[in-house]
Structure 1
Amino acid sequence: MSITKTGMKRRPTHPGEMLREDFLPDYELTVSGLAEAIGVSRQTVNELLRERRAVSPEMALRLSRLFGNSAEFWLNAQRAVDLWEAGNAIRDSVRRIRPLNAA
């Protein structure tokens, strides 16, 4: 992944895309099967898979338990997407900020 001085050039992979493209097929899970396995509604899972919902700490704990990885894995993936989107949204105003020099 290419990194520039101001951050990543392309949007990081959303955790919902990871679930949809990698985890569900590998574990032969459906939306309903995932929802049942982690104790949430199908709508909640569907919104996450369609990248209309962010991974919350609670969801990260559920996913990490199910898939045997860490909650930090899921939260870090979400944080990368959130920072990328925020950086693009306020890029111009951030560029106008002059860094301070230590005394």
Structure 2
Amino acid sequence: MAQPDSTQHPGTVLRKRFMVPHGLSAEGLAADLGVPVNRLEDILAGQRSIGAEVALRLGRCFGTSPLYWMNLQSRFDLHVTAQVLGGDIAREVRPRDAAPRQVA
């Protein structure tokens, strides 16, 4: 399976790549995962992040690594943060040389 685009919220990936092919509703998946349906609906709507607990539950449910879900979230968070703060960070942070300097 190709790696999802980092611009997609993990909830979008969950819906398109896992729920639709399995014919799952939010209510059905929430019950399978043992989480409140409103928590899952918020994830699917892109209004909530996938945390460690949900990553563990999704991994168990779909036979994936929990790291798959955590990495989707981290990649998305980095993309969004770079869009919002990347210019400011580029102006504010002075890069260091790659090689450590020797103290004389």
TM-score clears 0.5: yes
Q: TM-score, normalised by structure 2?
A: 0.84
**Aligned with residue 98 of structure 1, among 88, 94, 97:** 94
Cα–Cα, structure 1 residues 29 and 71, in superposed 2: closer, same or farther, change >3 Å? same
Once the two structures are superposed, the pairs formed by residues 23-62 of structure 1 within 5 Å of their partners are: 23-62=18-57
In the alignment, which residue of structure 2 is the partner of 1:74?
A: 69
Per-residue deviation, 1:22: 1.8
The amino acid across from 1:100 in the alignment is: R
**Aligned with residue 88 of structure 1, among 78, 83, 86:** 83
Note the residue ranges of structure 1 that are not aligned, 5 or more in a row: 1-9
2:6 and 2:72 in contact (8 A); partners too? no
- Percent identity reads 33
Q: TM-score, normalised by structure 1?
A: 0.85
Q: Which has the larger radius of gyration?
A: 2
Once the two structures are superposed, the pairs formed by residues 2-13 of structure 1 within 5 Å of their partners are: 11-13=6-8
Note the residue ranges of structure 2 that are not aligned, 5 or more in a row: none
Deviating 4+ runs (over 3 angstroms)? none
**RMSD of aligned Cα (Å):** 1.3
Deviation larger for 49-58 or 83-92: 83-92
The amino acid across from 2:96 in the alignment is: L
The amino acid across from 1:13 in the alignment is: Q
